[in-house]
Amino acid sequence: MAHLIAPSLLSADFARLHEAVELVEASPAPWLHLDVMDGVFVPNISFGFPVIKAIRPLSKKVFDVHLMIAAPDPYITAFRDAGADRLTVHYEACPHLHRTVQAIKEAGMKAGVAINPHTPVHLLADILGDLDQVILMSVNPGFGGQRFIPGTIRKLNMLRELREVHGSQLMIEVDGGVSAQNVKELVDHGADALVAGNSIFNAPDPAAAIRALAVVD
């Protein structure tokens, strides 16, 4: 299937979020990626329910919410109520991952799990059949603008093979350091969705950047 682009609002100008959301709304990107950080699981704080709820009426795009927080379970329904369509938690933050994934699904959202660069793909084997997506972090989570970690390609191949073995239909999403220079390689190795922040919102023409990332020759 064709890959999709999920522009990350973390890299937008927070003083002009309205314009950033409108830009994505008018683009071919079907998802808007929202990184929620708590300053505990990752060394940074971003935004939470009020921002997501405020921008939800501005967009018909799928809200792809990525929780980089230490204890996501108590907030699952709150993110649903704020407007999340897809909710991803971190493997490293969830001691009872299966229960967390089921709670996300019971709340009516698609469920995803993200793994940090140091976390092996095979640890997802027992939960794979319950997931709608896996996010491979291709940078260390917490900040935008980092360099892509090359080892992600190997993990991408491994996850694609694991998906085939389990007969899963989950989507493989890559988050971090995505640019026009590596988008083709990522798609060729199995990425279904690509999160892009700086390469879009710091580009001279963000709308053109989205269109360029959406097309692989």
Indicate which residue of 35, 38, 132, 192 is catalytic. Answer: 35
Res. 1 pLDDT band, cuts 50 70 90: low
The mean pLDDT of 182-190, rounded to a whole number, is 95
Q: Is the pLDDT of residue 103 over 80?
A: yes
**DSSP letter string over 161-209?**
HHHHHHT--PEEEEESS--TTTHHHHHHTT-SEEEESHHHHTSSSHHHH
Active site residue 35: yes
Distance CA 162, CA 181 (A): 26
pLDDT of 215: 86
Distance CA 104, CA 141 (A): 22
Res. 2 pLDDT band, cuts 50 70 90: confident
Alpha helices in the chain (DSSP H): 17-25, 49-55, 76-82, 97-106, 152-166, 183-188, 198-201, 206-213
pLDDT of 217: 66
Helix (H, G, I), strand (E, B) or coil at 11: helix
Condensed to tens digits (0 to 9), the pLDDT of residues 53-72 reads 999 999 999 999 999 999 99
According to CATH, what is the number of the domain 4-213?
3.20.20.70
The Cα-based distances of 91 to 22, 122, 123, 124, 197 in angstroms read 32, 12, 9, 8, 23
Q: What is the mean pLDDT of the chain?
A: 95
Condensed to tens digits (0 to 9), the pLDDT of residues 138-174 reads 998 877 667 899 999 999 999 999 999 999 999 999 9
pLDDT of 216: 77
Sequence spans of domains, the chain: 4-213
The mean pLDDT of 95-121, rounded to a whole number, is 97
Condensed to tens digits (0 to 9), the pLDDT of residues 8-60 reads 999 999 999 999 999 999 999 999 999 999 999 999 999 999 999 999 999 99
Indicate which residue of 38, 64, 132, 175 is catalytic. Answer: 175
pLDDT of 146: 75
Active site residue 130: no
